[in-house]
Structure 1
Amino acid sequence: MPISLAERITRRAISPRLATTIFFIGAKVKGFRFFRRCNSIFDPVKTKPVSRIIALVKKDLLLEWRQRHALFGILLYVFSTVFVINLMVKEPEENIWNAMFWVVQLFVCVNAVAKSFLQESRGRLLYYYSLVHPRYFIAAKLIYNVLLMMFMSVISLVCCILFLGNPIIHPLYFLGVVLLGGISLSLLFTMLAAIAAQASQNAALMAIMGFPLVMPILMLLSNISRGALTPVVQPGLPGMFLLLGGMDILVIALALILFPYLWKE
């Protein structure tokens, strides 16, 4: 039966100095293999931009799974908020239900997306800066936050239906609007979180910049989703969808253009 390194040290078969040397050599070899694996993943010659973006998205998913307490905290926030609304207004009418749902979505998005940059330390960002282009990094953050917010949007919708009633007449249409709304809110607040992460007052800066920018998106989403709560076809829906899509494209373009300059700081 093979004897471990600790047992050999205990039996004085290996001196402590030799054991320390073996340990540091093993650590260096493992560290070299780790950094060689990372460099092979992000090597611009061996890998394509899509592969690097996918690797960064997988990294964010792995970190989110390891820090499950933050995700569970957001889920608890959703449940408690909807439950308090139920205690105050029971089952509201259609317009109030619609307005409350999007207000809940707003605060869920702030809590879910804002931490994507706040949890990254300066040293880790510097390490990412040496591996990938800033546009790939912000693109991965946008994709990850879109996936996270779509999941949280479905959870919020289920909670609102369970606690506040179900006034939805066209469920598939409303579900599509909810997913589109989650995408729009996550794109906007990802860009704002990237800007606020470079300042000392992160929360205050996000609130100041986010309020005038999020108001037109919330008004558009409220007007679009109102068509799922009434049997009458609402006029002007194609124009509102085009306007919402145009705002999303503008936010993505601004994030890809401005973030490389922000990251240099």
Structure 2
Amino acid sequence: MLYINQILTLLKKDLLLEWRQKHTFFGVVLYVGCTVFVLFMMTGQPESRIWNALFWVAQLFVTVNTVAKSFLQEGISRMRYYFTLVTPLQYILAKMIYSTVMMLFMMFISLLLFNLLLGSPIQNKKTFIIVCCLGASSLSLLFTFLSAIAAQARQNAALMAILGFPIAIPLLMVLSNLALGAVSSVLQEGWAGMAWMMVGMDVLIIGLAMVLFPFLWKE
């Protein structure tokens, strides 16, 4: 019980910091809105496949802007202080949960704006929401872990992008194929297998973070 309470305390800490620095949160919301508006000005209301591709490309850059600061905003002295209070597993799990919640929020804001400005080709809303939840969790977990690695490289955000994009590209391709089952009236063959593969990738990222982050923590 104490283990979970400490994770909840870390989550509360991140929420309070986000509330005190509201300009960063609303800055990301503004970035999302500007991105969707620019896409609307350039493409109007595209057909379903183009709409789907634009949505997931936008989510990649929204994730980088939303999740990148999870570790990069933590100073060295603050990290040393956390080292005396909690275990590395508690810290990384709290960061991953917080980043996933934030990314879910940003993704549904993006979805709302896409529907308002670029139209809504979605045929199966329930399926698309499931894919959005999978996509938000996968992208946020990946970039949170990479943010932890980049934070140990003298706060080098460029390292996170270099490491992340080669992994994120096949991830986005799978998510795009999954989402096509929702924007078309016919469910694609092998949809369930791809969905479980995404869940497996999430579990793998969490497992790698739990194994490798304690070594980064000690540094």
TM-score tier by shorter-chain length is over 0.9
Match of 1:245? Answer: 199
- Stretch moving more, 119-128 or 201-210: 201-210
Separation in structure 2 between the aligned mates of residue 153 and residue 81 of structure 1, nearest angstrom: 13
For residues 228-243 of structure 1, the aligned pairs below 5 Å read 228-243=182-197
Structure 1 residue aligned with 2:127, among 149, 153, 173?
173
Percent identity for Structure 1 against Structure 2:
57
Give the match for residue 87 of structure 1. Answer: 41
Q: How does 1:177-188 map to 2 (within 5 A)?
A: 177-188=131-142
* Residues in 1 aligned to 2:187 and 2:167: alpha-carbon distance in whole angstroms: 28
Shift of 1:242: 1.3
Which entry has the higher C-alpha Rg, 1 or 2?
A: 1
> What whole-Å deviation, never above 9, does each CA across 1:131-160 have from its counterpart, x for those lacking one?
000110001000100111111111010011
Name the aligned partner's letter for residue 193 of structure 1: S
TM-score by length of 1: 0.81
Q: Does 1:139 align with 2:93?
A: yes
Q: State the match for 2:15 in structure 1.
A: 61
- For this pair of structures, how many residues does the alignment match? 219
TM-score, normalised to structure 2, is: 0.98
Name the structure 1 match of 2:55.
101
Taking only aligned residues, the RMSD between alpha carbons, in angstroms, comes to 0.9
The separation in 2 between residues aligned to 1:161 and 1:201, in whole angstroms, is 37
SS of aligned partner of 2:7: helix
Corresponding residue SS for 1:91? coil
Please, which runs of 5 or more residues in structure 2 have no aligned partner? none
Asked if the contact 2:72/2:155 (under 8 Å) is kept, the reply is no
Find out whether 1:196 has 2:150 as its counterpart.
yes
CA contact (8 A) 2:152 2:216 kept: yes
Q: Distance in 2 between matches of 1:179 and 1:63?
A: 25
Deviation at 1:201, TM superposition (A): 5.9
Amino acid at match of 1:204: A
Quote how far apart the aligned CAs of 1:235 are: 0.3
Letter paired with 2:148? A
The C-alpha deviation readout for 1:167-194, integer Å capped at 9, x for no partner, is 1111121112111110110000000000
Q: Residues 7-45 of structure 1, C-alpha deviation per residue, up to 9 Å, x if partnerless?
A: xxxxxxxxxxxxxxxxxxxxxxxxxxxxxxxxxxxxxxx
Verify the 8 A CA contact 2:40 2:117 in the aligned structure 1.
Answer: yes
Alignment partners' CA distance in 1, 2:133 and 2:198? 13
Q: Report the counterpart of residue 214 of structure 1 in structure 2.
A: 168
CA distance in 2, matches of 1:56, 1:200: 23
Which aligned runs of 4 or more in structure 1 are off by greater than 4 angstroms? none
SS of the residue 2:171 aligns to: helix
1:152 maps to a residue whose letter is M
Structure 1: 5+ residue runs without aligned partners? 1-46
Q: Please list the CA deviations of residues 178-221 of structure 1 after superposition, one character each: whole Å capped at 9, or x if unmatched.
A: 11110110000000000000013622211110111111211110
Residues 201 and 136 (structure 1), Cα distance of their counterparts in 2 relative to 1, 3 Å cut: closer
Output the CA distance in 1 between the equivalents of 2:18 and 2:118. 30
Equivalent in the alignment of 1:76: 30
